[in-house]
Structure formats: structure tokens, C-alpha cells
Amino acid sequence: VGFLSPSLRMGGAERWMLGLARHCDPSRVQWVGTALTEWSRESQLMTREMNRYMPVYGTVVPVDSKEHDRLFVRRPGPDASTGISVVAAQVKVILTWVDGHLGTMTDYYRRHYGLKTVAVVYSDWPLCCAAIQDSADYLSAVSLRAASKAYNKSDVPIQVIYNGVDTERCVPILGRNAFRDKYGIANNAIVLIYIGRFSREKNCLAAAEVAASLGKPFKVMYVGGGDSTDGYTDTEWLP
């Protein structure tokens, strides 16, 4: 089994991949590799962790690029097709994200290598609902909402596999009192925390709306980064 992914950043989709790599039964599933497409961006934390379970293949990048990991990503050729071919030539099943470009690539390797493909959708955003599902053997989603919004086929089964909490990273750094003192949170406040990317399809405002409707002592803390979508940037959200 292998992955075909546009990136290995710190998003929920990538954590979903890492969760599967960690917890699938090794007596039944052998991971061949993760192939990244040409526009990929890579977190060294993610590539390092993924390398514990499989090699990661990418494309040659400019010398001054800061968005690509040079330590844990193998770059066997001048473009992404080389790494994709390395993975595709060894796997029986490939998991790929729902995206127009990835759909074209996956369909090619499916026809030429006889691979079984699992199309995965990670959002209800229209960009994630491309035509790859028409040539997939199986469909998967990270939530029921994503499945209901993205898929319109009834003849291919849909398996929902939820994003889980990474228990290896859930280690307290500060105690409760020290944390509240650091961020000026009253001891009796009830804090709702949003952790993730600040972008429109995440419905980030929902937590603030809930806190506003409940009133005191409810508060909201946002933890994450901005996005390219207008109106959803760090400077506008964090204050």
C-alpha cells in the first residue's frame, strides 16, 4: 500500500495518513512509500515521522526553497513522476486525495499498473470533490460530513475513518494554573479551544458563536495559522 499526496504538512489530512501508517496491522499491510506531487510542501516533523514507516519521495526543489524538507525526502528524479512511479510499481493499493491533478495521475497508474485505488476526501470544500471518485475502486472520508458532501456515487462503498488524537503529542507542558496565568485566563473561565488552520471551510467562527451565545464564563482560544483566504489571517483572528 502507498500514498499519493500533494503535501506532507501539519494538516489533519496528513495526520490521518500518519495515523494509518502507525496503526495498520503490519502482518496484513506493508507500506511501500508516500509519493508527493510537484507542488508539495513538507514539514520536517511530518516527513521524519512518516519515514519511520515508509520512504517519502518528492521532486527536486530550488536551492533556496524553505517549503521543502531536504533531510527525510528522497528525490530520485527531476520531477514528481519519478517518485510516483517508484511507489506505483510496487503497490497493490494506492490511497490518493480527491483532487483534479491527482485524479489524472491516479487514473493513469490505475490503468497501466492495475492498481486498486482508494480515493480519500478530507473536507466538504468543493475543491476536494473532483472527478477522481468516478475511477476509484473504493471511497474513504475523514468524516460523515465530508462523505455526504463530496460523494455522489452509490455503487462504490464509502468507508469513514475518523481523524484521531495523536496521543504521543498530548503531553502537558504547563500545569493548569500556570497555563491560565500565562494567557490571562480567569480560574473560573470555561475555555473552548479551536486548533487548526484558520480558513473558511473549517467554519472557525462556530466556536466564537457558541461562546457568545452562552455568555460568561465561556471564552474561546484559537490556536493555529492563517490561510490565503481573504479575511482569515492571523492578525485578524488572534486579537
Which residues make beta-bridge pairs with 140?
120, 159
pLDDT value at residue 228: 44
Q: Which residue has the higher pLDDT, 123 or 223?
A: 223
Query: Mind listing the pLDDT tens digit for each residue in 39-73?
Result: 667 888 889 999 999 999 988 776 667 777 888 98
Q: What is the pTM of this model?
A: 0.76
